[in-house]
C-alpha cells in the first residue's frame, strides 16, 4: 500500500496534477471551516497519544500494544518527517498559488510542504489501531473514513498539496509497521502494563493533556477541540493513576501485534 501511495504522489508531481486537484479539494474548506480546523488539530501527535492512551485503559497488554507502538512511532516518524522535509524543502500551496483562488483556514503556512506530518501521524495511528484491535469490517471502514477526513483537512485548510498527503500517508504506514515490530521485539507493552509503566503512562497522559491546552496550533477555530482533547488527556491520566492505587488489575497474556 505504501508503494501505491508513493506512486500516486509521483504521478501528481510529475503530471502537473497537484495544483488542479488541490483547488478542487480545497473548495470543500468553504463548508464548515471549523470542522476542518478541528480535524487538523486531531492529526497532531499530541492528539494521537491522548486518544490512543485514553482508549487503552487498564493493564491489558493487548490493549496497551497500540500505545507502546505509538511511542516507537514518534522517533521513527519524526526522523523520517524532518529528514524528508529537509531533503525536498518544497513550498506549500499558499506560497505558490494566488490566495484568492483558495480557502485558507488557520495561520499561513509557506514552507516545508513534503511530506505532510499530519498524514504521517494519522495513517500511523489508524494502522496501529487496526493491527492491535479485533475489529469488524464496519469498524475498520469507520477507521479509514476518519483517517481520510483528517488527512483531507490538510488540503481543505490549504496547508498541503495532495501529493504531500499521499507521501505522508506512505511514510506513516512504514513507520507504523516498523513500530509494531519494535513493540514485539522489545516487549514495550509488557513494561507499560507494570505498575511503574502505568505511573509513567498516566503522568504522560496528564502532561500531554496540559500541553494540549497551551499548544499554539495555528487554528483558532479549533480551540473547542483542543479543550476537549486536553480534558480527555488529563481525566484519563488521573483515572489511570487512581485505578492503579485502588488495586492491581489483571494483566492479560500478551497477544501478537500484527
What is the predicted pLDDT for the residue at 247? 62
Where does residue 34 rank: exposed (0-12), middle (13-18), buried (19+ CB within 10 A)?
A: middle
Cα–Cα distance, 220 to 226 (Å, whole number): 10
Among residues 78, 55, 57, which one has the least CA distance to residue 192?
57
pTM, to two decimals: 0.92
Measure the N-to-C terminal CA separation of the chain; round to a whole number of Å. 16
Cell numbers for 227, please give them.
Answer: 479543550
Say how many CA atoms lie within 13 Å of 87 toward its Cβ.
8
Cell numbers for 78, please give them.
Answer: 519524526
CB atoms within 10 A of CB 89: 11
Cell numbers for 131, please give them.
Answer: 493491527
pLDDT digits (tens), the chain, 258 positions: 889 999 999 999 999 999 999 999 999 999 999 999 999 999 999 999 999 999 999 999 999 999 999 999 999 999 998 898 888 889 999 999 999 999 999 999 999 999 999 999 999 999 999 999 999 999 999 999 999 999 999 999 999 999 999 999 999 999 999 999 999 899 899 999 999 999 999 999 999 999 999 999 999 999 999 999 999 999 999 999 999 887 654 444 444 444
The domain spans of the chain are 2-16+34-246
CB atoms within 10 A of CB 131: 17
Q: Please compute Rg for the chain using Cα positions.
A: 19
Instruction: Give me the count of residues in the chain.
Output: 258
Domain with residues 2-16+34-246, CATH architecture: Up-down Bundle (1.20)
Cell 488540503, residue located? 155
Distance of CA 102 to the CA centre of its chain: 25
Cell numbers for 171, please give them.
Answer: 511514510
Torsion of CA 138, 144, 149, 151, to 10 degrees: 170
User: Omega before 106 cis (within 30°)?
Assistant: no
Which residues fall within 8 angstroms of residue 32, CB to CB, at 6 or more apart? Answer: none
What is the predicted pLDDT for the residue at 258? 44
Q: Are 132 and 66 in contact (CB under 8 A)?
A: yes
Amino acid at each position: 500500500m505504501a508503494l501505491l501511495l508513493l506512486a500516486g504522489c509521483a504521478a501528481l508531481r510529475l503530471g502537473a496534477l497537484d495544483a488542479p486537484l488541490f483547488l478542487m479539494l480545497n473548495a470543500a474548506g468553504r463548508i464548515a471551516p471549523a470542522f476542518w480546523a478541528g480535524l487538523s488539530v486531531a492529526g497532531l501527535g499530541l492528539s494521537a497519544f491522548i486518544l490512543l492512551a485514553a482508549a487503552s485503559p487498564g493493564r491489558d497488554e493487548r490493549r496497551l500494544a497500540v500505545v507502546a507502538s505509538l511511542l516507537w512511532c514518534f522517533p521513527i516518524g519524526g526522523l523520517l518527517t524532518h529528514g524528508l522535509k529537509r531533503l525536498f524543502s518544497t513550498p506549500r500551496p499558499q506560497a505558490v498559488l494566488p490566495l484568492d483562488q483558495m480557502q485558507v483556514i488557520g495561520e499561513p503556512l509557506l514552507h516545508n510542504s513534503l511530506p505532510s506530518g499530519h498524514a504521517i501521524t494519522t495513517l500511523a495511528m489508524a494502522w496501529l489501531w487496526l493491527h492491535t484491535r479485533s475489529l469488524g469490517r464496519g469498524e475498520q471502514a469507520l477507521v479509514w473514513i476518519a483517517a481520510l477526513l483528517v488527512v483531507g483537512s490538510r488540503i481543505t485548510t490549504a496547508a498541503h498539496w495532495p501529493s504531500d498527503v499521499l507521501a505522508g500517508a506512505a511514510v506513516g504506514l512504514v513507520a507504523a509497521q516498523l513500530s509494531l515490530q519494535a513493540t514485539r521485539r522489545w516487549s514495550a507493552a509488557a513494561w507499560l502494563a507494570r505498575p511503574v509503566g502505568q505511573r509513567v503512562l498516566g503522568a504522560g497522559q496528564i502532561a500531554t493533556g496540559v500541553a494540549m491546552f497551551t499548544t499554539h496550533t495555528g487554528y483558532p477555530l479549533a480551540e473547542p477541540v483542543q479543550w476537549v482533547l486536553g480534558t480527555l488527556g488529563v481525566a484519563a491520566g488521573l483515572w489511570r493513576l487512581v485505578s492503579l492505587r485502588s488495586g492491581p488489575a489483571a494483566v492479560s497474556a500478551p497477544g501478537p501485534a500484527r
